[in-house]
Amino acid sequence: MGRFPNRTQDVCVVIMAGGRGTRFWPRSRASSPKQFLDIVGTDTMIRLTCDRIGVLVPPEAVYVVTNADYREKVATQLPELPAKNILTEPAVRSTAPCIGLAALHIRRDHPDAVMVVLPADHHIPDRAVFLQSLSTAIETARRTHALVTIGIEPSYPETGYGYIEVGETTGEGIHRVSGFREKPDRDTAARFVASGRHLWNTGMFIWPASIILENMARHAPEIYRGLEAFAPHIGQPDEWTQLERIYSVFPSRSIDHAVMEHARDVYVIRGRFGWSDVGSWSAVEPFWDKDENGNALRGKAISIDSRQTISASDGRLIALVGVENLIVIDTPDAVLICRKDRDQDIKKIIEALEQRGMTEYL
């Protein structure tokens, strides 16, 4: 592990695992969202995320922030983590409160550590390159005492991602951030890709815990004040009550909107590794094995004259005849058949289920 001399507690990793995504219905359900499923790869996404940074930090330095409903799932899937490292939020408030809560714990447990924040449900096939970028990010954060993020060199004009515009280059693959750009339209995305100056915003952050808290004090004082009021109650009998109190008044704000877009001293590491936020069924397609007709078929399937179709079986046989560009997802109580370019409308199924009171399928 000589390449990663930081496998000590001067680095802590926070895995954000509170998402309640519905875009992978019917495989994902309210009780079991994407991060707890093996959508890509050979294990669940949170397990793979944890494994990916296993060479960098010991389990005692890994924190997960989730919500109370998923606490058991996290403990089961990551049994090596100390129970105290599984932090639960009393309400869904986007990433700024989540990161702030983790920063409090890390400041308390490991005051000198650099804190690495990673989403639980991203797919990163190139682990070695990812770890090199992360190592660069950690060194940069430690050296500059600034906010650091990792951006990905875009390989095509994706409109579903935010972009980071790079400024001054301060080292090999290290840039100051010139600005954050919201999800663009197609023309703008094409311009971003052509410019060579825009990277995909991955939502991965690297900073000393004290620095992000300082930045919250400056740019998101309503969240910072709540956090500091709560801090003395960590480990006390009233911890959960106090946490509920501050979350009840927290705004729902992303760390991008709350802090990153306002902070002066932000760096981005240019990541050249494969990465996807795996935002939909069609986004898994590049990572699944294909047959000679471009079908990505997981589990038992027979395909006759079918093309470019994604299917996933949970045990039953899926038989395809003459179909193209479909998504077929089979589960014990529901089966989805969706045109591939319409997978953003799976949420309409969720809405219909809610309207009809068919909550057993949610």
> Interface residues with a copy of itself (CB under 8 A)?
25-26, 302, 304-305, 316-323, 326, 328, 330, 332-339, 341-343, 345-346, 348-349, 352-353, 356, 358, 361
* Residue number with CB closer to a copy of itself (128 or 321): 321
Q: Which of 257, 264, 157 is nearest to 203 (CA)?
A: 257
Nearest to a copy of itself of 42, 359 (CB atom)? 359
In the chain, how long is the greatest CA-to-CA distance? 64
CB of 298 to a copy of itself, least distance (A): 14
Where do we find the tokens 């023309």? 187
Compute the least distance from the CB of residue 356 to a copy of itself, in Å. Answer: 8
Q: How far is the CB of 295 from a copy of itself (least distance, A)?
A: 12
Q: E-assigned strands of 45-188?
A: 62-67, 86-89, 114-119, 147-152, 163-171, 174-181
Q: With left for phi above 0 and alpha for psi between -120 and 50, is residue 29 left, alpha or beta?
A: beta
> Closest separation between CB of residue 351 and a copy of itself, Å?
9
Phi first, then psi: give them for residue 46, nearest 5 degrees: -70, -35
Dihedral of alpha carbons 243, 71, 86, 145, sign: negative
Closest to a copy of itself by CB, 169 vs 344, is: 344
Measured CA to CA, the distance from residue 300 to residue 310 in angstroms comes to 12
68 versus 319: smaller Cβ distance to a copy of itself: 319
Nearest residue to 275 (alpha-carbon basis) of 49, 62, 19: 49
Nearest to 35 by CA among 117, 23, 347: 23
Please, which residues have CB within 8 angstroms of residue 74's CB and are 6 or more apart in sequence?
17, 46, 64, 66, 81, 86
Q: Is 76 or 355 the residue whose CB approaches a copy of itself more closely? A: 355
Query: Contact at 8 Å (CB) between 141 and 207?
Result: yes
The CB-of-205 to a copy of itself minimum distance in angstroms stands at 35
CB of 183 to a copy of itself, least distance (A): 22
222 vs 341 by CB, closer to a copy of itself: 341
Burial of residue 311, with CB atoms counted within 10 A of its CB: 0-12 exposed, 13-18 middle, 19 or more buried: buried
Name which of 186 and 342 has its Cβ closer to a copy of itself.
Answer: 342
Specify the residue, 49 or 306, whose C-beta has the smaller distance to a copy of itself: 306
Minimum distance, C-beta of residue 343 to a copy of itself, in the bound complex (Å): 8
C-beta of 347: minimal distance to a copy of itself in Å?
10
